[in-house]
Amino acid sequence: MLLIKILIAGLVLFMVFNLFKAMVVMLKNDPDSPPMSKYIGRRLIASVIIISLILVAIATGLITPNPRPY
């Protein structure tokens, strides 16, 4: 259970890193640097992995959602 939470936290940090990396590429506007879509694509893939990991963990019972959100 702790491993899944650490993995999700690491992927969220990876998403934030790629977001800022894409911002730097966008602001520099250097034609020799990799395109901004490379970093945005990595961020999208990380989002898909996080959502699927959470869904699988809930389905297998490794994590339990809060039954009363209020």
Question: What is the per-residue pLDDT for 33?
Answer: 83
Question: What is the per-residue pLDDT for 59?
Answer: 94
Q: Phi and psi for 25 in degrees, rounded to 5?
A: -65, -40
Question: What is the per-residue pLDDT for 31?
Answer: 84
Question: What is the per-residue pLDDT for 6?
Answer: 94
pLDDT band at 48 (very low <50, low <70, confident <90, very high): very high
- Cβ atoms of residues 24 and 16 within 8 Å: no
- Cβ atoms of residues 47 and 15 within 8 Å: yes
Residue 20: how many CB atoms within 10 A of its CB? 10
User: Residue 13 pLDDT more than 90?
Assistant: yes
Task: Give the relative orientation of helices 2-28 and 36-60 as an angle to the nearest 10 degrees.
Answer: 160
